[in-house]
Structure 1
Amino acid sequence: MSLFWRIFLLNAAVLVAATMVLLLGPVTVSTPVVLTEALVLAVGLALMLVANAALLRVGLAPLHRLGRAMATLDLLQPAPRPIATGHAGIADLIRAFNNMIDRLEAERATSTARALSAQEDERRRVARELHDEVGQSLTAVLLQLEQVARHAPAPLNAELRQVQETTRAGLDEIRRIARRLRPGVLEELGLASALKALITEVTGHTDLAVTHRLGNDLPAMDDETELVIYRVAQEGLTNAVRHARATRVELSLQRRPGEVLLRVADDGRGAADAPEGAGIRGMRERALLIGASLEVTRSPAGGTEVRLRVPAGEASAA
C-alpha cells in the first residue's frame, strides 16, 4: 500500500470513528439521532475526506515524482534530476537522492575509465603479440614452405602451394584482427584516415556497401575523444554486419554548432526497440567518459541509427 493511502486511511478511520461517536455516543447533537443531522454529518465527513485526500495528494506529489525517477533511472543515460520541492523532510530526501546519484555517476565514470583503459592496454598487448610473435611464426612457415616447394615433385608441389595460400590467408586474418584490436593508423594518421581504413576493411571482407562523409573542418581532438569516436563507429559497423543484416550503411562525421556529430545509419532489421545489448551499453559507457551523448533510434531507411554527439568543449584543441 502506498504512503498516500496509508495516511489517508488512517485519517479516514479517525474521522469515521469520531463521527460514529458523535452519532451513537452520549455526546450527540440530539438523542435519538435525527435524520437531517445524520445527513449533515455524513456530508461534512465526505467533505473532510475529500479535502484531506487533496491535501495529501499535493503534499506527497514530490515523493511520487521521486519514485518515478528512481524506477526509470539509468546511469548510462543521464536524465534531469528531480526538483527538490515539498515541505521540510521531503525536499531533504530529494536532495539526498540527487547527491547520491551524483556520487554514483562519478564513481561509475571513474571505474569505467579504469576498466576501459585496462581494456585498451590489453588490446594493444594482444595485437602486439599477434603481430610480432604469431605473425612472424607464420611468416617463417611461409618461407620454409617456399623452400620445400622448390625441391618437391610436381604432385606434392601443388599441395604445398595450396598450404602456402592457406597459411598466407591465415596470416592476413591475424593482421586484420591485430589492426582491429589496435588501430595504429589512428595514432599515426589521425581519426579521418582511421575511419576510412575501417570502412575499407569492412567492405573488403563483407558485402556491405558503406558510404561516408567526413568533414574537412573537424576540430583538433585529444587522443581519448578520437578513440571513443573510432570505437563507436567500429561497433556501429560491426552491429550492422553481424546483427542488422544490412546491405547499406551511411557513416558521417561532421562539425555542428557546439558539437561534433558521428552518425552511423543502416538499412537492416532495426534494433531501436529491442533491449540494449552489451555493444550499445559499451558505447554509452565510452560516450560518458568524454561527456558525449549517444542516441540509438530508427533510421529513415528502416534500420538502426546511432548518433554520438561530442560537445564542443570536448572536441577542442589538444
Structure 2
Amino acid sequence: MSLFWRIFSLNSAGLIVAAALLLGPVTVSTPVLPAEALVVVAGLAVLLAVSAVVLRVGLAPLERLGRSMATADLLRPGARAAVAGPAEAAELIRTYNTMLDRLETERASSAARALSAQERERHRIARELHDEVGQTLTAVLLQLKRVADRAPEELREEVGQAQEATRAGLDEIRRIARRLRPGVLEELGLASALRSLATEFTAHGLSVRHHVPGDLPALPEEAELVVYRVAQEALTNTARHAGAARAEIRFRRIADGVELVVSDNGKGFGTAAEGAGIGGMRERALLIGAALAVRPGPEGRGTDVRLCIPTMPGISAMPAKSAIPAGGR
C-alpha cells in the first residue's frame, strides 16, 4: 500500500470512529464534563500515536536511502539500498539502484578507456626516452670521451665529472623508461616482473622482500598488468610517504583466485584521505573484477595493500619463466 493510502485510510478510520461515537454513546455537554474531556483527549492521543507510527514506518526506507546516497562510492561498487517500504519509496529505491548500476558500468567503461590511453602514452614516452634522449646522451658520452682524450691535464678532471653526470643521467632515463614500460613483464612474465620490481626498489634504499612462487595460475594479459601496476604504485607510496625501512611483496593462490599483498612497516596513513594513487589502484582493480583493500598492518603498524583477483575462466598453471628463487631481497 502506498504511503498516501496508508495515511488517508488511518485518518478516515479515526474520523469515522469519532463521528460514530459522537452520534452514539458519547456526548459533549456544555460545559464539558471531565469524563467527556477524557474520552476526547484519549481518542486524539491514540489517533496521533498511530499516525506517528505509520509515518515513521513509511519514511524509514527513505531515511535509509538517504544514508546510502551519502555513502555511495563508485570505486567501491556493489552496495545497494534495500528495496522496502511503501510503493512510492520502493519505486524510488529501485530507480536509485538502477541508476547506480548504470553509473558503475559507465565509470568502468570510461576508466578502461582512460587507463588504456594512459598505457599507450606510457609506452610512447618510454620509447622516445629510450630512442631519442637515450641515444642523444650516449652520443654526448662518446663526444666527452674524445674530448677527455685530447684535453689538457688540468681539464681532465672536470671533463670526467661531466662524463659521470651524463652517465648518471642516462641511467636515470633508462630507469624511468623501464618503469613506464615494464618490458620484463612482457618478456619474462608476472612472477619475474614482481621480483624485478622488488629488486629495483631495494636498490633505491627500501629493503623489499618478495615471496612469488613459480606455480601460480597464469592470468590474462590485462590482469597481469593490473597486478604489476598496483604493486608498483603501492611500493612507490611506501617509498615516498610511509617512512618505512622494510616492505614485502607476496603473491599467492587463495581459495577463489590469487592475491597480491604489499605490506610495509611504515607509519601508515592514519586519518589522511586516500590520494590519487590509491584511487588509481581501485580503478584498475575494477577493470578486472578484483577487490582492493588498503588497511593498517598487524597491530596497527604499517599498511597492507591487498588485491584479490577471482578465478577466471581458462586460467592454467603459470609456467616458470625464470630461475630466480621465490624468496629474497
1:86-97 correspondence to structure 2 within 5 Å? 86-97=85-96
Judge which range, 219-228 or 55-64, deviates more: 55-64
Is the counterpart of residue 248 in structure 1 residue 246 in structure 2?
yes
1:281 counterpart residue number:
279
Q: Distance in 2 between matches of 1:274 and 1:67?
A: 25
Q: Distance in 2 between matches of 1:267 and 1:101?
A: 37
Q: Distance in 2 between matches of 1:308 and 1:116?
A: 18
Q: Distance in 2 between matches of 1:205 and 1:145?
A: 28
Distance of aligned partners of 1:42 and 1:265 in 2 relative to their CA distance in 1, 3 Å threshold: same
Moved over 3 A (4+): none
1:200 counterpart residue number:
199
Is the counterpart of residue 35 in structure 1 residue 34 in structure 2?
yes
**How high is the TM-score relative to the length of structure 1?**
0.89
CA contact (8 A) 1:246 1:269 kept: yes
Distance of aligned partners of 1:314 and 1:289 in 2 relative to their CA distance in 1, 3 Å threshold: farther
State the 1:316 CA deviation. Answer: 2.6
Structure 1: state its 5+ residue gaps: none
Is the counterpart of residue 170 in structure 1 residue 172 in structure 2?
no
Q: Tell me which amino acid in the other structure corresponds to 1:217.
A: D
State the 1:28 CA deviation. Answer: 6.2
Distance of aligned partners of 1:270 and 1:314 in 2 relative to their CA distance in 1, 3 Å threshold: farther
Q: Distance in 2 between matches of 1:139 and 1:260?
A: 43
Q: Distance in 1 between matches of 2:216 and 2:32?
A: 87
Give the 3-state SS of the residue equivalent to 1:250 in structure 2.
strand
1:76 counterpart residue number:
75
Distance of aligned partners of 1:69 and 1:315 in 2 relative to their CA distance in 1, 3 Å threshold: farther
RMSD: 2.5
2:304 counterpart residue number:
305
Identity %: 61
Q: Distance in 2 between matches of 1:229 and 1:58?
A: 47
CA deviations 1:243-267 (Å, max 9, x no partner) are 1111111110101011211111111
1:1-40 correspondence to structure 2 within 5 Å? 29-40=28-39
Q: Distance in 2 between matches of 1:95 and 1:313?
A: 30
Judge which range, 161-170 or 86-95, deviates more: 86-95
1:266 counterpart residue number:
264
CA contact (8 A) 1:290 1:314 kept: no
1:213 counterpart residue number:
211
State the 1:128 CA deviation. Answer: 0.3
2:131 counterpart residue number:
132
Q: Tell me which amino acid in the other structure corresponds to 1:137.
A: T
CA contact (8 A) 2:195 2:212 kept: no
CA contact (8 A) 1:66 1:94 kept: yes
Q: Distance in 2 between matches of 1:111 and 1:162?
A: 49
Q: Distance in 2 between matches of 1:46 and 1:79?
A: 44
Structure 2: state its 5+ residue gaps: 319-329
CA contact (8 A) 2:130 2:173 kept: yes
Give the 3-state SS of the residue equivalent to 1:260 in structure 2.
strand
State the 1:314 CA deviation. Answer: 6.9
Q: Tell me which amino acid in the other structure corresponds to 1:175.
A: R
Give the 3-state SS of the residue equivalent to 2:242 in structure 1.
coil
Q: Distance in 2 between matches of 1:190 and 1:109?
A: 26
1:43-58 correspondence to structure 2 within 5 Å? 43-58=42-57
State the 1:209 CA deviation. Answer: 1.0
Q: Tell me which amino acid in the other structure corresponds to 1:65.
A: R
CA contact (8 A) 1:215 1:255 kept: no
Q: Distance in 1 between matches of 2:282 and 2:213?
A: 23
Give the 3-state SS of the residue equivalent to 1:243 in structure 2.
helix
Is the counterpart of residue 112 in structure 1 residue 111 in structure 2?
yes
Q: Tell me which amino acid in the other structure corresponds to 1:67.
A: G
CA deviations 1:263-288 (Å, max 9, x no partner) are 11111111153211100011000000
Q: Tell me which amino acid in the other structure corresponds to 1:219.
A: P
CA deviations 1:31-78 (Å, max 9, x no partner) are 211122212222222222121111222222221221111110000012
Is the counterpart of residue 148 in structure 1 residue 147 in structure 2?
yes
Count of paired positions: 302
Give the 3-state SS of the residue equivalent to 1:86 in structure 2.
coil
2:236 counterpart residue number:
238
Give the 3-state SS of the residue equivalent to 2:298 in structure 1.
coil
Give the 3-state SS of the residue equivalent to 1:306 in structure 2.
strand
Distance of aligned partners of 1:240 and 1:314 in 2 relative to their CA distance in 1, 3 Å threshold: farther
State the 1:153 CA deviation. Answer: 1.5
CA contact (8 A) 2:261 2:306 kept: yes
